[in-house]
Copies of this chain bind each other. A is one copy, B any other.
Amino acid sequence: MATMKQVAERAGVSTSTVSHVINNTRKVSAEVRERVLGIIAETRYIPSAVARSLKNDRTHTIGMMVPNSSNPYFAELIQGIEDAAFKLSYNIILCNAYDDPVKQAAYLRVLLEKRIDGLILVASGADATLAELLSTASVPMVLVDREVAGVEADFIESNHEEGGYLATRYLVELGHRRIACVSGPADLQPSRDRVAGYLQALREADIAFDPACLVHSDFTSEGGFNAFRQLLQLPTPPTAIFASNDLMAIGGICAAAEAKVRVPEDLSVIGYDDIALASYSTPRLTTMSQPKYAMGELITQLLLARIARTGGEHLPLRRELLHTTLVERQSTAPPRSH
């Protein structure tokens, strides 16, 4: 691989001049510029971002830590971020923590060594070690969906409580009175928020909350499958279920089908996230749509704004709560008795 020095020699100029024609950073005579450009093409010279980064203290690389990039919600979020980042000349290093704080810490360490310009973190666990590591790292950072105790950083999420509320209220308005909820892991704040919204909607409708109607699962299709099966075996099964994400809703619908429970005739199901497949599952899934693409763009913008100010005056901490919107499709309907 050719180096700038070699290019300079062959062009009969200094590396300084070569550098400037590459970066358009100072006036260079047309003649010299052409000559240099010619040699660059001829030698297929490609500047080293590594060397440049060492000099500039900027890698134009962002670390993205998620629990699981195969989960369609994260996959779509990542894609939005990657897209926005590309437009701004940043690359993404993808890290799957699998909800393992140890693995997450190991990754963080590597990212810090690689001198990422910024970090987008959907935290797995929130042990003290993480807060410790993060606060001493002092890398520009934005937290998504999950806050980390003791870490001050921009934070973005959709309004989970509102989402849970709207989903449940929609079911109530359809005429349902026995409404169950399949929640995500109880130790995740977004899960709890969505449940809070669910309870709030129930309360407003004067529907007594039956603890048997709330089951905690794990945000996977399989988990949803099992949770629905359990709910459908209740003495008085629900006529509607709010699933805390689309994966569980889809798995749940599968369980309903196997139990000969028709959706939406016998059971209404509403999901959360609005992943791409929700539009084409059978039946098409009614769901609370999270603005994933907008989130991706906003996250990237916030992070880059913070990166731009590194060392400068402190930007005020931002906390963004995005709205979710109801997408009515075919998995919900008024209850049978109506």
Contact = CB atoms under 8 A, between A and B. Distances in A.
Interface residues of A, number: 57
A93 B96 contact: no
A91 B79 contact: no
A281 B282 contact: yes
A284 B47 CA distance: 51
A6 interface: no
A212 B311 CA distance: 65
Contact of A44 (B136, B257, B277): B136
Contacts of A111: 91
Contact of A75 (B54, B70, B109, B247): B70
> Interface centre among A44, A83, A103, by most B CB within 10 Å?
A44
Interface stretch (A145-153, A162-170, A199-207, A221-229): A221-229
A247 B50 contact: no
Contacts of A76: 70
Interface stretch (A29-37, A248-256, A320-328): A248-256
Interface string A95-115: 110000001000101111111
B280 A114 contact: no
A188 interface: no
Contacts of A334: none
Contacts of A72: 70, 72, 75
A277 B221 contact: yes
Interface in A114-149: 114-115, 136
A156 to B, nearest CB: 19
Given A277-B277, A281-B281, A96 B113 contact: no
A186 interface: no
Interface string A77-92: 0110011001001011
B277 A247 contact: yes
A185 interface: no
A280 B249 CA distance: 10
B91 A110 contact: yes
Nearest to A91: B93
B276 A70 contact: yes
A332 to B, nearest CB: 15
Nearest to A77: B70
Given A91-B93, A92-B94, A280-B251, A115 B70 contact: no
Given A69-B79, A247-B277, 5 more contacts: A50-B115, A69-B78, A82-B95, A93-B93, A250-B281
Interface of A: 44, 46-51, 53-54, 59, 61, 68-70, 72, 75-76, 78-79, 82-83, 86, 89, 91-96, 103, 107, 109-115, 136, 221-222, 224-225, 247, 250-251, 253-254, 257, 276-277, 279-284
